[in-house]
Amino acid sequence: MLKEAQDAFGHELLDYLDGKRSWEIIERDDGFFNVSPGAALYFSQYEDWSAAEKQAMSHVRGKVLDIGCGAGRHALYLQGQGFDVHGIDNSPGALEVCRRRGFTKTSLLPLTQVSRNLGVFDTVLMMGNNFGLVGTPKRAQWFLKRLKGMASAEARIVAVTRDVRYTDEPEHLDYHARNRAQGKLPGQVRIRVRYKRYVTPWINLLMVSMDELRQIVDGTGWQLGETIDDERGLYVAILQKVKL
């Protein structure tokens, strides 16, 4: 779990909830950085979501685990639709925001501590590019196998990721080339988030094309089903549990 000084994302969300201006600086390990437009996206309502996000919600069934629930925008929508939703996040500030907004079924957990102790689920949400939290292909396979043991027979994973080839920015193309030279997938990224005096630890993120995702899920007990295109390479992947 994040310590107070590391919880940049949580403090950004808390300030926004309290009506204060907030932002976030995304710093990559090659020195590239970007300033986000702020926390408004994390509080957006269903009617303001992209068509792909709305369509993704139609794939939700039964008991739901929301991984990296953030400010709770997907969980609160589904809760309002009558779903039983459990959210996890490693940000204490984010979960405080969830509670203040009326989403209380949460656990302060990093992805690596997700286990069957949370229960058995019919849908696992990894929205907001949160499939990337697996970090590396090897850890992705480990995590998918773990999720298989927490999933009902008809379970599905609704996950957002990005095909990083959809860019012509030299800074990104150079980074992808460096990754390939090191034997990595082009979408393996190492970043940290800054907000005011708060700085997260370095975070490994994994973004994959559909072909790369098919290779990763092979042998994990899951298979790639439908995909929903969003924009700028983002897409929603529906992973279905392989039937024995």
Q: Domain with 65 in it: what CATH number?
A: 3.40.50.150
Q: Name residues whose C-beta falls within 8 Å of residue 65's C-beta, 6 or more positions apart in sequence.
A: 85, 86, 87, 88, 114, 118, 119, 121, 123, 124, 125, 150
- DSSP 8-state assignment for residue 234: E
**Domain annotation covers residue 84:** yes
CA–CA distance, 102 with 92 (Å, rounded to integer): 16
Q: Is residue 5 part of a domain?
A: no
In angstroms, what CA-CA distances link 3 with 11, 115, 199? 12, 22, 10
If one counts the domains in the chain, the total is 1
Q: 243: buried, middle or exposed (CB in 10 Å: 19+, 13-18, 0-12)? A: exposed
Residue 19 inside a domain? The answer is: no
Residue 1 lies in a domain: no
Whether 113 is covered by a domain: the verdict is yes
In a domain, 2, yes or no: no
Q: Does the residue 99 lie in any domain?
A: yes
C-alpha to C-alpha distance for 146 and 107, rounded to whole angstroms: 18
Output the CA–CA distances (angstroms, integers) from residue 79 to 60, 72, 210, 220, in the order listed. Answer: 12, 10, 30, 29
pLDDT values of the chain reduced to their tens digit, one per residue, 244 residues: 899 999 999 999 999 999 999 999 999 999 999 998 789 999 999 999 999 999 999 999 999 999 999 999 999 999 999 999 999 999 999 999 999 999 999 999 999 999 999 999 999 999 999 999 999 999 999 999 999 999 999 999 999 999 999 999 999 999 999 999 999 999 999 999 999 999 999 999 999 999 999 999 999 999 999 999 998 899 999 999 998 7
In a domain, 18, yes or no: no
The DSSP code for 106 is E
Domain span holding position 178: 49-189+201-241
